[in-house]
Amino acid sequence: MHNLKVVENDIDEERMEVFSTLREVIIVNGELKDMTMKSRKQYRDLAMVVERVGEKLNYVFVFFVLLLVAVVILVYLK
């Protein structure tokens, strides 16, 4: 009978450890979901910034080419 009580206590302790670990896993899982959502938002924000910068670079490139063409024309007209 004494051995049965010891085994039952061991099982209860193991059960409590499993539940404790399960709670920790659930908490970490929630934190990972939050981090994933934040990362996705940051990625979308960064993609928008890159797109805007790309558009501005296109305008700068066009302006530079037009300026270069104007300089070349002015040099040949002299």
One-letter amino acid of 50: V
Q: Give the per-residue pLDDT at 74.
A: 87
Q: Give the per-residue pLDDT at 4.
A: 82
Verdict on whether the full-model pTM lies above 0.85: no
Q: Give the per-residue pLDDT at 43.
A: 92
Query: Using CA atoms, how far apart are residues 3 and 9, in angstroms rounded to an integer?
Result: 10
pLDDT by residue for the chain (78 residues), tens only, comes to 778 888 889 899 999 999 999 999 999 999 999 999 999 999 999 999 999 988 888 888 888 999 999 998 988 887
One-letter amino acid of 33: K
